[in-house]
């Protein structure tokens, strides 16, 4: 048996751990401190993290035997990709494992907003019966604008079609035909703003997308639009969103991600017409098991020198 050593620092579902153990020694150190990680990383051939562990230049420098860093999930914001490249360490992730979980949360948030499910539940728990006040609206017949029509965007689009919504999508990296093949009408960003009753964002955080939903964008949208974001904090300008909620330009927002996480004492989170969740998009049993299976196979492939499906750096 090969003497590979693999370190887990943010936990991993048992299905992934048992696959790794067939080929390697696996040490599980959930919650390990940054300092301790620096002292032990030199012993390991591979490191598997989620979003907590910061894989910095210092960690990569100290990882003298490190060949691969695996992210069980999608976001690699916590991994210094440039430093990894410089140190010759491959970075792999599990980008498809969590698609359905995020798409379903997005749908839950849309339904939660239009039917005011959180407020209805809170009122019942407070002993109230607000039947008359709690008149919502339907998704049926509404136009859903999707910004970023990749894996998650398209999965949301397919579900919206099943609800008889009209789906318009903006994605400058896809052709109009690719968007049509994925079941939406291609549109410019301005057309999405002008037509959509609800807008959901599924783009990565880049220089182009940072703050893309700001005061100018909200000003172009239909009055009373509803916004969903389960992509990345920073894509929405949070103070502009708060102002648009206060003015009534935006009727409601549902947010799973925040510019700072946790967001602390945030007026946006506390706003009566905001539904907020603590970045739980990928937090389903199924998604985490899929991610564990995918990342374990990918990390072992990297150690064996086999072709990689999801090499980020």
Tell me the catalytic residues: 232, 261, 279
Q: Please give the Cα distance from 55 to 216 (Å, whole number).
A: 36
- Cα–chain-centroid distance for residue 140? 26
Among 88, 126, 131, 172, binds ligand NAD (CB under 6 A): 172
Q: Please give the Cα distance from 277 to 258 (Å, whole number).
A: 10
Question: Does 279 contact ligand NAD by CB under 6 A?
Answer: yes
Q: Are 278 and 249 in contact (CB under 8 A)?
A: no
Among 11, 16, 112, 153, binds ligand NAD (CB under 6 A): 153
Helix, strand, or coil here: 28?
Answer: strand
Candidates 64-72, 145-153, 158-166, 245-253 — which segment interacts with ligand NAD by CB under 6 A? Answer: 145-153
Q: Are 30 and 7 in contact (CB under 8 A)?
A: no
Question: Which lies closer to ligand NAD via its Cβ, residue 209 or residue 296?
Answer: 209
Q: What is the DSSP letter of 127?
A: T
From residue 301, give the alpha-carbon distance in Å to each of 85, 90, 241, 291, 305.
18, 11, 44, 15, 6
Q: Please give the Cα distance from 13 to 31 (Å, whole number).
A: 15
Question: Does 98 contact ligand NAD by CB under 6 A?
Answer: yes
User: Minimum CB separation from ligand NAD for residue 76, in Å?
Assistant: 9
Q: Please give the Cα distance from 119 to 58 (Å, whole number).
A: 47
User: Minimum CB separation from ligand NAD for residue 97, in Å?
Assistant: 9
Question: Does 108 contact ligand NAD by CB under 6 A?
Answer: no
Helix, strand, or coil here: 229?
Answer: strand
Question: Does 281 contact ligand NAD by CB under 6 A?
Answer: yes
Question: Does 208 contact ligand NAD by CB under 6 A?
Answer: yes
Candidates 23-31, 129-137, 146-154, 262-270 — which segment interacts with ligand NAD by CB under 6 A? Answer: 146-154
Question: Which lies closer to ligand NAD via its Cβ, residue 202 or residue 222?
Answer: 202
Question: Which lies closer to ligand NAD via its Cβ, residue 118 or residue 204?
Answer: 204
How many residues at the interface with ligand NAD, by CB under 6 A? 32
Question: Does 75 contact ligand NAD by CB under 6 A?
Answer: yes
Degrees, nearest 5: CA angle 95-99-103 = 155
Q: Please give the Cα distance from 217 to 224 (Å, whole number).
A: 14
Q: Please give the Cα distance from 219 to 211 (Å, whole number).
A: 14
Question: Does 221 contact ligand NAD by CB under 6 A?
Answer: no
Count Cβ atoms below 10 Å from residue 129 Cβ, excluding itself.
9
Question: Does 143 contact ligand NAD by CB under 6 A?
Answer: no
Q: Are 48 and 12 in contact (CB under 8 A)?
A: yes
What is the residue whose two structure tokens read 């959509």?
196
Question: Does 95 contact ligand NAD by CB under 6 A?
Answer: yes
Question: Does 72 contact ligand NAD by CB under 6 A?
Answer: no
Question: Does 256 contact ligand NAD by CB under 6 A?
Answer: yes
Among 119, 142, 151, 222, binds ligand NAD (CB under 6 A): 151
Q: Which residue is nearest to ligand NAD (CB)?
A: 150
Binding site for ligand NAD (CB under 6 A): 74-75, 95, 98-99, 102, 147-153, 170-174, 202-204, 206, 208-209, 230-232, 256-257, 279, 281-282
């Amino acid at each position: 048996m090969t003497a590979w050593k693999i370190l887990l620092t943010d936990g991993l579902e048992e299905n992934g751990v048992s696959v790794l153990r067939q080929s390697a020694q696996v040490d599980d150190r959930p919650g390990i401190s940054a300092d301790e990680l620096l002292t032990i990383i030199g012993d390991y051939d591979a490191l598997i993290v989620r979003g907590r562990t910061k894989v910095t230049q210092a960690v990569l420098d100290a990882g003298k035997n490190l060949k691969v860093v695996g992210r069980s999930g999608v976001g690699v914001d916590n991994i210094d990709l440039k430093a990894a490249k410089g140190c010759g360490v491959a970075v792999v992730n599990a980008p498809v494992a969590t698609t359905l979980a995020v798409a379903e949360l997005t749908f839950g948030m849309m339904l939660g907003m239009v039917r005011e499910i959180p407020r209805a539940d809170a009122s019942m728990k407070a002993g109230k019966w607000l039947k008359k006040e709690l008149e919502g609206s339907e998704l049926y017949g509404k136009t859903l604008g999707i910004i970023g029509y990749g894996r998650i965007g398209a999965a949301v689009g397919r579900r919206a079609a099943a609800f008889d919504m009209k789906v318009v999508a903006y994605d400058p990296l896809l052709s109009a035909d690719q968007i049509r093949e994925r079941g939406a009408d291609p549109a410019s960003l301005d057309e999405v703003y002008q037509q959509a009753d609800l807008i959901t964002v599924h783009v990565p955080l880049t220089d182009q997308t940072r703050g893309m939903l700001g005061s100018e964008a909200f000003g172009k949208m239909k009055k009373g639009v509803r916004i969903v974001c389960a992509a990345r904090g920073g894509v929405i300008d949070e103070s502009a969103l708060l102002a648009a909620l206060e003015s009534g330009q935006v009727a409601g927002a549902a947010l799973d991600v925040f510019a700072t996480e946790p967001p602390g004492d945030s007026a946006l989170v506390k706003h009566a017409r905001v539904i907020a969740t603590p970045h739980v998009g990928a937090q389903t049993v199924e998604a985490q098991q899929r991610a564990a299976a995918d990342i374990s196979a990918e990390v072992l492939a990297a150690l064996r020198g086999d072709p990689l499906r999801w090499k980020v750096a």
